[in-house]
Structure 1
């Protein structure tokens, strides 16, 4: 089949030239040659300079996702094997691999693909048409790579049920990519046991990106009274309890999440100190304030309040409100752990919003540390979408 050449408009391709991996629909001047959506094309700058090879999809505003900058590189079995090997070798050097994100899309140069390892189970999320064609091959290559280190994968489950697949002209799908297995998988992270529901849990079943942020709060929680908001399946709450907190309350609006959190507390033998309630955090925090409640540590781990630039203003209001309320509930000299997992809520915006909240309630913040996502979710500079998690720990001091 003859090569398909995509030529960019003059002055476009800024993302690619800065090291990114996307070409948007409005950056393209011409397409020469026959192709079908999902197939590999070669990208040239306006003057014919070769910029790389990637897969094209005319259903998506992200028209091309680059796989390699080498225009002579075949996207074949050996190419994929090398990408998978690089991803796994990186994880072995940077994180606890008992459970971790093994492939993180563009940041591992496999755009649109996420693979999480939960103990001896893999969960696959495919978000782009081009990579979908390679997904099964990549899974087999990853299983071979893990086996070299004595890790035998007993099951693979697909969670390609995110809405963004619709933007690619793809259906949302989920199901087994292996023999069926019990989809409640037990993992251990930071010494805490969890049952991960890979079939019906959020995203791929568990948020691995907060692994070391959860560990960071342990030292603050010994003998503490702790409030964990948006607890999901109890991850921060359980780290607090394991670290010796005297009382932990976890709050989430999902009944299913609260049930799972209670099971996880029992699994760790801390059900006497870690309790979970199903409530809307925005409604609960003012009630706790009226009741005069105070906590040594308050943790805010909300879902992304914005998934587009259009809703950032409303998101700012939401982040300001919960941080303001949380600061009022922290004892003088206590601690606030707060985060945002929205790419569109930038570091600068998030920092400014927390500062506004503190000024509004006359609190002074002493920054203990600033953190981001765990290294198995690497931030690829120039691929802005790979940097999304911002995590602060503050000591909250009353103005005197």
Structure 2
């Protein structure tokens, strides 16, 4: 059976014409031929100009995710191997590959698929029906490619349990791909040791995208009193402690995260100068302000407050509130590290929110640096969803 042909409406396909990977349901004029959801289809413009090939899913508003611009390219084992090899070669050039994201979906031209490497373990997250069909082949290809660099993968765990899979009409799933292994994996990042729970931790178990942002705060934290809000499993807090902070307080609303953070502190031998609190950050910050607590460094690494366009308005309030409170807790001349990991919270809007918060509490901010996600989470221009992390470091000064 030949591939079905999808024809776009006149004037549509703006995303893929700009270099993106998605075609939405309302951009399609017609589909000729037989297909099942998840099949590869050809895409033509309204005037029959070939646009590429991708997998289709009528359950999803993202109706087609492009795999290739070449209409004649077979999406077969050789094609997948080339994509995976290119992704790995790129990582070898731009990051420490001991722990890194090897496949980052659309930005690696393998839409809907994420693969993280934690030491000798791979964690796979599949978010789209079409890529689900290829995921085990891709994993096997990746293991072969890594073996050529003398890297032996001990085990693979699947964390395709994100709610977004339901938008694709597919069930959430998690479990071993192949042999079972201990899912508590020890890693070292920036000289800091962590236990990563790939089975039950958030997302794939650890947020690799902040690797170099955590490194960037180390120099500010020597001999400092540090407050790390939304600490998760202690990642920023422990970078601060290992870098020579004199006192570190980490806060998170999850007992699971806090318990893991305490274990990670012991693993690094810094339990004597770290305290982890299971608290709501929004409630704790005003309490600390009332007690007139002051910190040399305050770090804000909240979860994505804006998970959709509709939630941006409430997210703005949340980001403004925590940044405003944090600025009040920073000593004169101290530092604030603050970020947003929400794609829907644009750079411009996030910057505006911080500016407004500073104005409200009569603080002047000196920008030390602006950063984004680590380069193993590459930002593909025109694929807007690949750019999500905004990270600022400021020196906080009184108005003079």
- In structure 2, the partner of 1:361 is 361
CA distance in 2, matches of 1:3, 1:90: 32
CA distance in 1, matches of 2:394, 2:33: 57
Deviation at 1:2, TM superposition (A): 1.8
CA distance in 1, matches of 2:88, 2:361: 46
CA distance in 1, matches of 2:46, 2:184: 52
Superposed, which structure 2 residues align to 1:211-230 within 5 Å?
Answer: 211-230=211-230
Give the superposed CA RMSD. 0.3
1:49-89, Cα deviation, whole Å (9 max, x unpaired): 00000000000000000000000000000000000000000
SS of alignment partner, residue 271 of structure 2: coil
CA distance in 2, matches of 1:42, 1:304: 35
CA distance in 2, matches of 1:176, 1:243: 36
CA distance in 2, matches of 1:251, 1:311: 24
CA distance in 1, matches of 2:358, 2:296: 17
Deviation at 1:178, TM superposition (A): 1.6
Q: How many positions carry a matched residue from both structures?
A: 400
SS of alignment partner, residue 250 of structure 1: strand
- In structure 2, the partner of 1:128 is 128
CA distance in 1, matches of 2:55, 2:178: 27
CA distance in 1, matches of 2:2, 2:374: 42
SS of alignment partner, residue 374 of structure 1: coil
CA distance in 1, matches of 2:111, 2:379: 14
SS of alignment partner, residue 51 of structure 2: strand
CA distance in 1, matches of 2:62, 2:3: 21
- In structure 2, the partner of 1:114 is 114
- In structure 2, the partner of 1:10 is 10
Superposed, which structure 2 residues align to 1:216-295 within 5 Å?
Answer: 216-295=216-295
SS of alignment partner, residue 111 of structure 1: coil
- In structure 1, the partner of 2:298 is 298
Superposed, which structure 2 residues align to 1:156-195 within 5 Å?
Answer: 156-195=156-195
- In structure 2, the partner of 1:73 is 73
- In structure 2, the partner of 1:90 is 90
CA distance in 1, matches of 2:141, 2:346: 36
CA distance in 1, matches of 2:342, 2:3: 38
SS of alignment partner, residue 272 of structure 1: helix
SS of alignment partner, residue 213 of structure 2: helix
Deviation at 1:274, TM superposition (A): 1.2
CA distance in 2, matches of 1:166, 1:88: 30
- In structure 2, the partner of 1:308 is 308
1:373 and 2:376 correspond: no
Where do 4+ consecutive residues of structure 1 move more than 6 Å?
A: none
- In structure 2, the partner of 1:388 is 388
- In structure 2, the partner of 1:196 is 196
Could you list the runs of 5+ residues in structure 1 that have no partner in the other structure? none
Deviation at 1:3, TM superposition (A): 2.4
1:146-198, Cα deviation, whole Å (9 max, x unpaired): 00110000000000000000000000000000211110000000000000000
SS of alignment partner, residue 355 of structure 1: helix
Deviation at 1:287, TM superposition (A): 0.1
TM-score (norm 2): 1.00
- In structure 1, the partner of 2:25 is 25
TM-score (norm 1): 1.00
